[in-house]
Every structure is written in C-alpha cells, then in structure tokens.
Amino acid sequence: MKIRLNKVLPPNIPDSNVRNSHVWGEDLVLEPGSRVLVNAPSGSGKTTLIHVLYGLRREFSGSYSVNDRDTRQMGLNDWAALRQSGFSVVFQDLRLFAKASGMENIQLKALLQPVVNEQNIRDMAARLGMADKLYRPVHTLSQGERQRIAILRAMCQPFSWLLLDEPFSHLDEANIAIARTLILERVEEQGAALLLAGLGFDYGFSTNSSINL
C-alpha cells in the first residue's frame, strides 16, 4: 500500500516546525514494505501525522493519497475498510474501552476481519506476560499492561501498514524486546510496512529510513 503526502500541512503545526520538517508542506512517498522511523521531539506533530495517515484528521492543506487514491474522495465506509485491513495502529493514548476486558478490546478489533482466534490471542498475550490479565477490565490494569493490550489489538488484524505512536513508552527493556519480536513476526508474516513515531530510538526495528518531522 503506497502512501503519498503532497504538501500536507495541518493548521495546528507551528511555522518553526514546518521550516525544518521533511513531512509538513513537503512531498513524501512511503513505499509498501518499508520501515520508517519518524524522529521528532515532543509536540512537533507525531500524533498528528499518525492521525492524518489513519484518517482521523482530515483538515489539512495539500493532499494525501493511498494507492494513488485521494483520501478526500473517501467516505466513512472506505475508511472503515482501510482500518480493517490496510492500517493497524497503536495509538499513543491507547484508545481502549476502559470498562471492557483486554480480551473484549482485542476481539472488538479481531472480529472485524477474523485472522486470529481466541486461542491465538491468548498465546500472543502469554508471550507478552498478559495471560492472567486478559480478562480483567482495562481500567484495573497498569499503564504498561494497557499498552501491551493495545499492541495485541493491533496485531490481531490484517494490515499493510503498522502505525506505532510511541508504543513502548511504559514498557521496560525486556518487555520491549518481547513486544518487538512479536510485532516483527506479524509485520513479516504479512509483508507489511511499519512506521514508528518516536523520540529518535528505533527500538531495534532496523528501520530503513528515518524522517525528521
């Protein structure tokens, strides 16, 4: 799935950030299968970029196309289809249903395009050390545990691009390594591309391009 940003500029990006950016107001093509690290300090618009790519932010100048299709021409159902099997995302703010269990959160995503079953989910959760916490309401979990639920949710759907917005901010190095292994397995299984937005670390993902935002 080829992504093209053509002079995209959301209204909330300060001019000082735009001047040094390789993304905002520039032409950028992200090829299928690539692994991209987006470097930027906090507040420079990493989450805005993820939201633009995922179709949550649609107010910007310029144009954004997916597989040469202008996203301005896309409706709710087109975006729903892209989110079901084109993009998978781990939001920085996680966006989980707080009162639902971890398993319910994951299944809500997995049931849209069933490529994993409940046992697969349990197995992946066990690898992330979440087996015994999978059926607890999310609001009772720690931030790191919630982050792992959000990662598991992103792994349980088909995708061409995996968008990760500071996905390991609450994980220790051991858990980051386990999560990275799981993520890379899924990315490689699907021949997908990966975009990691962070503070300059690629967490061992061996990214092949780095963009300063």
What are the residues whose beta carbons fall under 8 Å from the beta carbon of 210, sequence distance 6 or more? 36, 37, 38, 39, 202
Between 110 and 195, name the residue whose CB sits nearer to other proteins: 110
Among 100, 115, 182, 184, binds other proteins (CB under 8 A): 100
Stretch that binds other proteins, among 6-14, 94-102, 180-188, 189-197 (CB under 8 A): 94-102
111 binding other proteins? (CB under 8 A): yes
* Residue 1 makes contact with other proteins by CB under 8 A: no
Which residue among 42, 73, 77, 119 contacts other proteins (CB under 8 A)?
Answer: 77
Name the 3-class secondary structure at 96: coil
Sign of CA dihedral 93, 95, 100, 105: negative
Residue 97 touches other proteins, criterion: CB under 8 A: yes
How many residues line the site for other proteins (CB under 8 A)? 20
Could you tell me which stretch among 16-24, 63-71, 96-104, 204-212 binds other proteins (CB under 8 A)? Answer: 96-104
| DSSP secondary structure string for all residues of 120-168 | HHHHHHHHTT-GGGTTSBGGGS-HHHHHHHHHHHHHTS--SEEEEESTT
Per CB under 8 A, residues contacting other proteins are: 54, 56, 76-77, 80-84, 95, 97, 99-100, 104, 107-109, 111-112, 157
